[in-house]
Amino acid sequence: MMTRLLIQKSLRESAWLLVACACLLFLFCWVSVWLICQFDLQQIEPLLRQLKPFERFIPIPLEQLLTYSGSLSMVFHEPVLVTCVLVWSIARGSDAVSGEINRGTLEMLLAQPIGRLRWLACHTTVCSVGLALLCGLVWLGLACSIRTQSVRQEMAPTVDISLPLLPWTVPIRVGPAQQVETPLARLVDSSRFIAPTCNLFGMGFFVLGLSLFFSSCDRYRWRTLGIVIGIFVIQMLLRLLSKATDATAFFGYFTFLSAYQPDAMVHFARDNSAAAWWLWVPSDQRTLSWPYALGPLGMTLMLLVGGSLWIILAAWRFRSRDIPAPL
């Protein structure tokens, strides 16, 4: 009975934020696919040549951006999408303990016949389910838009001519090129974005666990927000430093964002869809875009394990700390 009431309380407090983020993520993914379909990707090839010196900052070759699957995989790095996931994880994670203390409601809440761990477990469950729903809507927005959009391609009518005495055929163009509408679903398989979506969930879950831990340590929510946001900014800077030069590549070992590789997952599994779910990559299968021993699934699991460890630390700290009286 009390567990149900605690879950209902968390749902009421997070409902508007969940609805806002869900609508924004779904519409953003839908519109992103539509925008990509409005351009002939081959026309941006001269621009990509100019960006060749900056190729090291993205985990896939620039040539992959000339394919629709490669362009769509970059949606997972869009600031709007990442910010929505971070807003949910940080806002809801920071509210668990320091938010309740800041409002002066935690003491009254714990005066009821409930334990501290039960409250934290219910709050974490609602946050995790909400995060899974948001990430699911990211994939759903991409999948629905892929199903409904089409692209224009230039195609010239050809006939195959068999060469005498040889088992070969040569295509011969017999007319001018024409603009043909091709459904995007024929060119891109939406199931290829399931593994990147799981990776997005892993990144959000790690930040959620981090927010819960610092919320369990502090009494002011504004300070919890500042600490977690500051840590994330530092992690982003370390990630950029690791990509800048070979001499600074070791900084990649000090940031959890090195495990967030949604676009590299799509590129790595372009020829073998099962590779997106590899836990470990054999040495002979590693490429320049995926030089890691951990596979795509291993990267996601590492983020999930890291988030779980932060949640365990949050539970330990919350159980052992004193609750200050409301001011």
Sequence letter at residue 263: D
Phi-psi domain of 170 (left: phi exceeds 0; alpha: psi -120 through 50; beta: other):
beta
pLDDT tens digits for range 214-234: 999 999 999 999 999 999 999
Q: Which residue has the higher pLDDT, 136 or 174?
A: 136
Global pTM reads 0.89
Q: Which helix (H) or strand (E) holds 238?
A: helix 221-244
| C-alpha–C-alpha distance, residues 99 and 228, integer Å | 14
Sequence letter at residue 318: F
Query: Whose CA is closest to 64, among 257, 269, 252, 258?
Result: 269
pLDDT tens digits for range 236-261: 999 989 888 888 888 989 999 999 99
- Strand stretches in the chain, DSSP E: 150-155, 158-162, 169-173, 178-183
Q: What is the pLDDT of residue 47?
A: 63
Beta-carbon contacts of 277 under 8 Å, excluding residues fewer than 6 positions away, are 195, 295, 296, 297
Of 22-36, 108-122, 143-157, 161-175, the poorest mean pLDDT is in: 161-175
Q: What is the pLDDT of residue 135?
A: 97
Categorize the per-residue pLDDT at 158 as very low, low, confident or very high, splitting at 50, 70 and 90. low
Buried b (16+ CB within 10 A) or exposed e, 58-90: bbbebebbbbbbbbbbbbbeeeebbebbbebbb
Average pLDDT over residues 188-201: 94
Helix extents (H) in 38-62? 45-50
Of 54-58, 91-95, 202-206, 312-316, the poorest mean pLDDT is in: 54-58
Other Cβ atoms within 10 Å of 310 Cβ, number: 22
Identify the three-state secondary structure at position 21: helix
Work out the percent of the chain whose per-residue pLDDT is above 70: 85
